[in-house]
């Protein structure tokens, strides 16, 4: 029996049906991944092809990963090459773009290498792994990222009174200024926060961790929009999250997530966040480790 990745289910849903989905995903024989384009903070859109600059950068990396990642690939080398190509295209077509408007994205990847399966990522996308014996774990590149964002969102909501007040996070001048300051510092040694985007050096900071799989396992690779079910709303732990996806599928879990966002806590007073509903993408994967 050979080692393999089997895609069991996928889902990708925009947080706002009237706006582009800034998430992308993909898979091939050697990988399964989710790429979460960060909401643009510029005064205008620079790349017109996909509805938003965030969607443009996410799809750029998704196409490249699907085409170029093999079991023998260095994900860092592929990411560096794709970043350089994105930088050349974006800055070549748009001069003097403020750094806070440079498009970037988080990603999480399940990579099958000759020595086994690995988690690879940058930013706040993640992977939940469930072993046959019931052991479960969550993997992400930035421990504490969710707690930090929730704390900042709580301050925004305290200023405005709710997620949808004052035009949302981008409509409040103080919140927007803070978000832009944080975004400008990303992908630099000063911040230590690295993401996929226009900075090839970010590839030197990919987080890669081996996955201790014995025989067969199941995993969810997802954007932070989906992981909120466990991290923000605490409806699941890693084990029950993956187990529920295996038994019920991803669609009912997405519906449950949207109920939290739009019915139970639409203004973020109980569960602080910047958006009422986030773009949500997840892949349910079966991993088989052959002899």
pLDDT < 70 stretches in the chain: 1, 291
The total number of structural domains in the chain stands at 1
What gap in Å lies between CA 109 and CA 61, rounded to an integer?
12
Give the pLDDT of residue 238.
98
Q: Residue 45: what pLDDT? A: 94
- pLDDT score, position 122: 98
Looking at residue 291, its pLDDT comes to 59
CATH code (residue 45): 3.60.40.10
pLDDT of residue 256: 98
| Residue 135 structural domain | 4-288
What is the rounded CA–CA span in Å between residue 166 and residue 159?
Answer: 10
Predicted model pTM: 0.96
* Residue given tokens 């993408």 in the structure block: 281
Residue 214 has what pLDDT?
A: 85
């Amino acid at each position: 029996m050979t080692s393999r990745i089997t895609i069991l289910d996928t889902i990708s849903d925009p947080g706002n049906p009237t706006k582009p989905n800034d998430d992308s995903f993909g898979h091939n024989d050697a990988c399964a991944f989710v790429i979460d384009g960060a909401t643009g903070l510029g005064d205008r859109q620079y790349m017109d092809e996909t509805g938003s600059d965030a969607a443009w950068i996410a799809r750029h990396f998704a196409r490249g990963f699907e085409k170029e990642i093999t079991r023998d690939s260095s994900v860092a080398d592929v990411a560096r090459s794709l970043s350089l190509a994105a930088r050349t295209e974006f800055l070549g077509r748009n001069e003097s773009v403020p750094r806070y408007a440079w498009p970037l994205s988080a990603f999480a990847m399940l990579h099958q290498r000759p020595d086994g399966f690995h988690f690879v990522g940058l930013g706040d996308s993640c992977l939940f792994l469930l072993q046959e014996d019931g052991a479960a774990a969550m993997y992400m590149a930035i421990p504490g990222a969710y707690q930090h964002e929730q704390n900042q969102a709580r301050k925004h909501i305290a200023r405005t009174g709710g997620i949808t007040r004052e035009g949302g996070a981008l409509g409040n001048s103080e919140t927007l200024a803070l978000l832009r300051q944080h975004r400008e510092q990303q992908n630099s040694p000063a911040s230590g926060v690295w993401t996929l985007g226009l900075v090839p050096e970010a590839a030197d900071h990919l987080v890669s961790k081996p996955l201790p799989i014995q025989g067969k396992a199941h995993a969810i690779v997802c954007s932070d929009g989906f992981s909120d079910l466990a991290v923000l709303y605490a409806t699941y732990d890693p084990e029950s999250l993956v187990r529920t996806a295996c038994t019920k599928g991803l669609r009912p879990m997405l519906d449950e997530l949207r109920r939290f966002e739009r019915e139970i806590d639409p203004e973020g007073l109980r569960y602080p966040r910047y958006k009422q509903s986030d773009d949500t993408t997840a892949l349910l994967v079966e991993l088989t480790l052959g002899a």
